[in-house]
A and B are shown apart, each in its own frame.
Chain A
Amino acid sequence: MVISIRNVHKQYMAGGLKTVALKGVNLDVEHGEFVVVLGSSGSGKSTLLNVSGGLDQVNDGEIIVDGQVITKLKSKQLTSFRRDQFGFIFQQYHLLPNMTVYENVEVGARLNKNQEDVNKFLQEVRLEKHANKFPYELSGGEQQRVAIARALAKKPAILFCDEPTGALDEDTGKIILNVLQEINQELKTTIFLITHNLGIAEIADKVVKMRSGEITEVSYNKIKKRASEVSWA
């Protein structure tokens, strides 16, 4: 197992009210698995991604990643762990607007101990011809592909994706999913993707359904669809 989530509880204060985001969640993710976490708004899926990716602390329970109990790590150690092990892709891309496509990927590549060639990652997302463009000159899909290249350039063991197709239309969204599928299949990168789009679950190895901070169902796809075949919700 690469990720082991054990009886994790998470609550936070919002507007003076205590909100319980995760109630004793347990989940295992294998190395190289494509996991999709489904749930509507407020189900706790984003919180699950945050605590699993070391972006937030849990109130109770533990999370073990590649043998390391990350819930016990201090801030600096967690930063270092994220640097070496995790990649992130977000709904809003979060590219650096003042840097070119090449430089945006370079931001991630610099964290890679092996310092691989940036162009290689641009080729993987088929954006090598746009290397000198700025983010505002790209479409949403292209920007998301840059974000994927940036995340990949770190050579992460696990790629956390928070609604990566949420801001995209169907066609573009499928392109992105196709890229993620390729990464998973060719590089054996573990993908942990959260979404509310039921169709996206069809490309996953494991589908985790959440509601009100709890996992309600864990299922497996014996036959995974290709990204282009996904029924878009």
Chain B
Amino acid sequence: MIASSFIYVTLEGATSSVFYLLDDYTHITNQEDFLVVLAIPTEREVRAMREQRHQSAGYFGNQQQANHYFISDYYQDLATSIAEKFNVDLEGRFYYDAVETIQDQTHTFRFIRETEIVNQTYVLEGRLPTADHEIAIFPEYANQNHLLIGDTLTINEQPFAITAFIMLPDYIYPIFSFDSPLFNPQTQTIIIATDQIYEQFAQGELVLFSGSFRDEANPEEMVAAISNYPGVSYAMDNQMNVRISTLNFHLHSNHLLSITFSNLLLLMCVAVVLLMMKKRINGDRMQIGILKAMGYSQGSLIISYLIFPLVIAIIGSIIGFFLGIGCARFLANTYVVNFVLPPVQFYFTPRLFIRGVLYPILVTVGASLIILHRLLKGESLSLMKENNHLKLSIVSKGLSKLLRPFSFSTRFKYSLAFRNLGKVIALFIVVLVASIFLVFGFIAFNAVDDVSDRAFNRANYTYEIKYNRLVRQSIGAGETEFLKYQAYPELEVVSTPFYIYGIDPNNEVNPLYNGQAENITSLANEGLLINEFIAKAYSLEVGDELTMVIRGKQLTYPISGIVDHYNGPMTYISLDWLRQDLNIGTSQYNGSWTQERPDNTRHISYVFSMEELAQNVEAGMEMIRVTLQFMVVITVLIGNFMLVVLTNFVIEENQKQISILKVMGYSEREVSKMVLTIYFPFVLMAYFLSVLITRVGVDLIMSQIANRLPMAIPTDFTIGSTLTGAIIVALTYLIAIKCSKRQLAKVSLQEVLKY
């Protein structure tokens, strides 16, 4: 009961606090409702837009503007026309990334041009920069790099004084690139500077506009309409923007987790409480019969027996509630580290008390009432008859006939087990729930290692370099070039953008393997290689066709292979094929996988060290791994405790039978084998069923979330893991038996002499 309330209150308390903060934060900063990415225009489109401007500017304006019409003007005009057409606010969310190597680590500084209406900057501390030598940065970056307001940060050989710590509502989970879906607060930060400084750095800015609705609108319809507007590459509502939606996803996941796990634990607890009550009542049957004969009503008897489950429920849920409140405060604050948010204050909602305390009490008492009503409804005479409650059910009688061909030992065990069907069901539930936790922990634990292993262990390069333009530099030994672009898939479901890599199909620098560990790099010559994440998220297979818009061109490729990676939505095709389709000259490329870090960072968007990336993934996964280890250990302990309680019930319920066996001359070992191992087959059945349930459940969850986040985790549960889990469950049961043997030894020979 404590665990059930504790888990619910901890997770729900933390999530509701963050939800409350988020609501406030997004309102104050006018977080974007959607974003728009404009397509690279053709010359004709630019001319058309220029003409439009001529007409609106008038004769004298025309002359000036005719001579000075740039691509940025085109984008601005297009954005203005979209805003007018759809009655929305649209502001350019231009940014540029500067890369610096600081103490052998690659730091990325994203200079963002401030907006006035949408996605306003939130100042946590200090003041926004007003002079060209001033900047504002993320507070966690400052914290991890030991920087204070007033300190200096040098970027591109220019020193900047830090004047403020800021946050942006469209960078709550500020992944800088979908290639690397993990945010590293130590090496990545947003930079707010003056417009002059921004202009100085902005040589490769991306064309992104943030929008908000001016009036009530159907977001999906509006965004879809904007997406189809001429000149728009795509539009995405804020729930598809992973920088915003990731936190919502985490919060909703925690909410789901809190409800599911707390209910499962409550179910376990209620099952055991009901069993304990039934045991008590069976033991008190004579007394109950006498009390009824004396005139006590059933209601008054029910109330007296209700005290036990009520007390358990009240004490357990209150302890769990207060423990949960304490942990919720701690958990809420971890979001400050993993997401860029103002400090979280714990926010108490009545729902925490209702669901964390009242609900478990009501469920426990309600279930107890049903059972008590059933158990106490007998007439006083029948209650007073010794062993009247030992009549066999139809199930037991039927089973007895079925078991006749089997050995005495088998017949004895199963007839004893099924004599109390409730206990079998309770044990099944306990083991099933505990095993679900265990299997889930295994899947996630293996996945944590797999994500990292599959992504990095087979790479034969040390750095991934991405240029902000096409280059023609020569490639050294042990290196290979690639073309990389964002690709917008045309799928039935809404998706995050993909990335397409044009690669040398014969390269050995970054070989690609499928799930059977076969090298499929050369299949890039035959079609598109997608990765496991895309395959699972969108149910795509080899042989399917995938249409994507790449640099404004709609291209369709057959899928020729599935790469065993889970790190983001990556696709791969032959470099020559992609060059041809995008009209890019031979020997041109915009990225390379190399062994050495480049000396010159000119024209470079980013440099990823594989070692750093692997460390980032490991670091991010470490907390998950620790949480999972904790969960598995707690599960095994809870499961073991429950099994000990249940096996002790078996002993207490069958004391007379155990005693007569001992009197007759059966040894302790023989009695133990006959009585304590009766549930072993059910324990294993519950475990294997849990494997099935958990696998199906996890696959379902993964496919649901994978098209919302640019990452997924492998959900394999190998035969080895299945067997390991079975061994753990079996050992847990054996430990429970061992703990119960002492109880068995205490059953005295004189038990049979009691009337």
Q: Which residue of B lies closest to A151 (CB)?
A: B664
Within residues 77 to 105 of chain A, which ones have a CB less than 8 A from any CB in chain B? 79-80, 82-84, 86-88, 90-92, 94, 96-100, 103
For residue A230, CB closer than 8 A to chain B, the reply is no
User: Which one of A50, A99, A110, A150 lies within 8 Å of B753 (CB-CB)?
Assistant: A50
Q: Which residues in B have their C-beta under 8 angstroms from that of A106?
A: 408
- Assess the A82–B753 pair: CB atoms within 8 A: no
- Assess the A94–B660 pair: CB atoms within 8 A: yes
- Assess the A154–B664 pair: CB atoms within 8 A: yes
- Assess the A98–B396 pair: CB atoms within 8 A: yes
Q: What per-residue 1/0 map shows which CB atoms of A193-213 lie under 8 Å from chain B?
A: 000000000000000000000
Q: Which residues in B have their C-beta under 8 angstroms from that of A94?
A: 656-657, 659-660, 752
- Assess the B400–A97 pair: CB atoms within 8 A: no
Q: Which residues in A have their C-beta under 8 angstroms from that of B755?
A: 91-92
Output the least CB separation between A185 and chain B (Å).
24
User: Which one of A99, A103, A108 lies within 8 Å of B664 (CB-CB)?
Assistant: A108
Output the least CB separation between A58 and chain B (Å).
14
- Assess the B400–A162 pair: CB atoms within 8 A: no
Interchain CA distance A122-B143 in the complex, whole Å: 86
**Residue among A86, A94, A106 with the most chain B CB within 10 A?**
A94
Q: Which residue of B lies closest to A87 (CB)?
A: B664
Q: What per-residue 1/0 map shows which CB atoms of A45-78 lie under 8 Å from chain B?
A: 0100010000110000000000000000000100
Q: Which residue of B lies closest to A90 (CB)?
A: B752
A residues contacting the other copy or chain, number (CB 8 A) = 33
- Assess the A97–B664 pair: CB atoms within 8 A: no
User: Which one of B657, B665, B750 lies within 8 Å of A79 (CB-CB)?
Assistant: B665
Interchain CA distance A217-B749 in the complex, whole Å: 29
Interchain CA distance A150-B664 in the complex, whole Å: 9
Q: Which residue of A lies closest to B417 (CB)?
A: A98
User: Which one of A82, A84, A91, A96 lies within 8 Å of B663 (CB-CB)?
Assistant: A82
- Assess the A80–B665 pair: CB atoms within 8 A: yes
Given A55-B750, A103-B408, A134-B397, check contact A97 B392 (CB 8 Å). yes
- Assess the A103–B657 pair: CB atoms within 8 A: no
Output the least CB separation between B399 and chain A (Å).
9
Size bin of chain B's contact surface: 20 to 34
For residue A107, CB closer than 8 A to chain B, the reply is yes
User: Which one of B387, B391, B412, B656 lies within 8 Å of A99 (CB-CB)?
Assistant: B412
**Residue among B659, B662, B755 with the most chain A CB within 10 A?**
B755
Q: Which residues in A have their C-beta under 8 angstroms from that of B753?
A: 46, 50, 55, 90, 162
Interchain CA distance A154-B666 in the complex, whole Å: 12
User: Which one of A76, A86, A96, A100 lies within 8 Å of B657 (CB-CB)?
Assistant: A96
- Assess the B386–A92 pair: CB atoms within 8 A: yes
For residue B419, CB closer than 8 A to chain A, the reply is yes
Q: Which residues in B have their C-beta under 8 angstroms from that of A97?
A: 387, 390, 392, 419
Q: What per-residue 1/0 map shows which CB atoms of B408-424 lie under 8 Å from chain A?
A: 10011001101100000
Q: What per-residue 1/0 map shows which CB atoms of A156-179 lie under 8 Å from chain B?
A: 000000100000000000000000
Within residues 251 to 300 of chain B, which ones have a CB less than 8 A from any CB in chain A? none
Output the least CB separation between B130 and chain A (Å).
87
For residue A27, CB closer than 8 A to chain B, the reply is no
Given A46-B753, A50-B750, A92-B755, check contact A83 B392 (CB 8 Å). no
- Assess the B664–A83 pair: CB atoms within 8 A: yes
For residue A220, CB closer than 8 A to chain B, the reply is no
Output the least CB separation between A102 and chain B (Å).
9
State the main secondary structure of chain A at its contact with B: mixed
- Assess the B400–A100 pair: CB atoms within 8 A: yes
Output the least CB separation between B601 and chain A (Å).
80
Q: Which residues in B have their C-beta under 8 angstroms from that of A232?
A: none
Output the least CB separation between A10 and chain B (Å).
13
Q: Which residue of B lies closest to A88 (CB)?
A: B663
Q: Which residue of A lies closest to B414 (CB)?
A: A98
Q: Which residues in A have their C-beta under 8 angstroms from that of B400?
A: 98-100, 134
Output the least CB separation between B149 and chain A (Å).
77
Q: Which residues in B have their C-beta under 8 angstroms from that of A50?
A: 749-750, 753
Interchain CA distance A46-B400 in the complex, whole Å: 36
Q: Which residues in B have their C-beta under 8 angstroms from that of A108?
A: 664
For residue B661, CB closer than 8 A to chain A, the reply is yes
- Assess the A136–B664 pair: CB atoms within 8 A: no
Q: What per-residue 1/0 map shows which CB atoms of B715-755 lie under 8 Å from chain A?
A: 00000000000000000000000000000000001101101
Q: Which residues in A have their C-beta under 8 angstroms from that of B750?
A: 50, 55-56
Q: Which residues in B have their C-beta under 8 angstroms from that of A162?
A: 753
Within residues 645 to 687 of chain B, which ones have a CB less than 8 A from any CB in chain A? 656-657, 659-668
- Assess the B664–A82 pair: CB atoms within 8 A: yes
For residue A138, CB closer than 8 A to chain B, the reply is no
Given A83-B664, A154-B665, check contact A56 B749 (CB 8 Å). yes
User: Which one of A79, A90, A103 lies within 8 Å of B411 (CB-CB)?
Assistant: A103
Q: Which residues in A have their C-beta under 8 angstroms from that of B396?
A: 98
Output the least CB separation between B675 and chain A (Å).
11
Q: Which residues in B have their C-beta under 8 angstroms from that of A56?
A: 749-750
**Residue among B390, B663, B667 with the most chain A CB within 10 A?**
B663
For residue A111, CB closer than 8 A to chain B, the reply is yes
- Assess the A82–B419 pair: CB atoms within 8 A: no
Q: Which residues in B have their C-beta under 8 angstroms from that of A107?
A: 408, 412, 661, 664
Q: Which residue of A lies closest to B667 (CB)?
A: A79
- Assess the A110–B408 pair: CB atoms within 8 A: yes
- Assess the A136–B665 pair: CB atoms within 8 A: no
Interchain CA distance A209-B397 in the complex, whole Å: 46
Interchain CA distance A111-B663 in the complex, whole Å: 12
Q: Which residues in A have their C-beta under 8 angstroms from that of B667?
A: 76, 79-80
Interchain CA distance A160-B659 in the complex, whole Å: 16
Interchain CA distance A215-B389 in the complex, whole Å: 41
Output the least CB separation between B755 and chain A (Å).
6
Interchain CA distance A86-B400 in the complex, whole Å: 29
Q: Which residue of B lies closest to A49 (CB)?
A: B753
Interchain CA distance A84-B665 in the complex, whole Å: 8
Interchain CA distance A139-B418 in the complex, whole Å: 24
- Assess the A98–B660 pair: CB atoms within 8 A: no
Within residues 19 to 55 of chain A, which ones have a CB less than 8 A from any CB in chain B? 46, 50, 55
Q: Which residue of B lies closest to A83 (CB)?
A: B665
Output the least CB separation between B393 and chain A (Å).
10
- Assess the B665–A111 pair: CB atoms within 8 A: yes
Q: Which residue of A lies closest to B674 (CB)?
A: A107
- Assess the B664–A88 pair: CB atoms within 8 A: yes
Output the least CB separation between B416 and chain A (Å).
6
Output the least CB separation between B406 and chain A (Å).
11
**Residue among A91, A106, A107, A111 with the most chain B CB within 10 A?**
A107
- Assess the A83–B408 pair: CB atoms within 8 A: no
Q: Which residues in A have their C-beta under 8 angstroms from that of B666?
A: 79, 83, 111
Q: Which residues in A have their C-beta under 8 angstroms from that of B408?
A: 103, 106-107, 110
Q: Which residues in A have their C-beta under 8 angstroms from that of B660?
A: 94, 96
Q: Which residue of A lies closest to B392 (CB)?
A: A134
Output the least CB separation between A147 and chain B (Å).
9
Output the least CB separation between B752 and chain A (Å).
5
Interchain CA distance A42-B157 in the complex, whole Å: 104
Within residues 172 to 194 of chain B, which ones have a CB less than 8 A from any CB in chain A? none
Q: What 4 A-B pairs are tightest by C-beta distance, nearest first? A: A83-B665, A97-B390, A98-B415, A98-B419
User: Told that A56-B750, A88-B752 touch, could you supply 10 new A-B pairs with CB distance under 8 A?
Assistant: A55-B753, A79-B667, A82-B663, A83-B664, A90-B753, A94-B752, A97-B392, A99-B400, A134-B400, A136-B387
- Which residues of B come within 8 Å of A, CB atoms? 386-387, 390-392, 396-397, 400, 408, 411-412, 415-416, 418-419, 656-657, 659-668, 749-750, 752-753, 755
Q: List 24 A-B contacts (CB under 8 A).
A: A46-B753, A50-B753, A79-B666, A79-B668, A80-B665, A82-B663, A82-B665, A83-B664, A83-B665, A83-B666, A86-B665, A87-B664, A88-B663, A88-B664, A88-B752, A94-B656, A97-B390, A97-B419, A98-B396, A98-B419, A100-B400, A106-B408, A136-B390, A162-B753
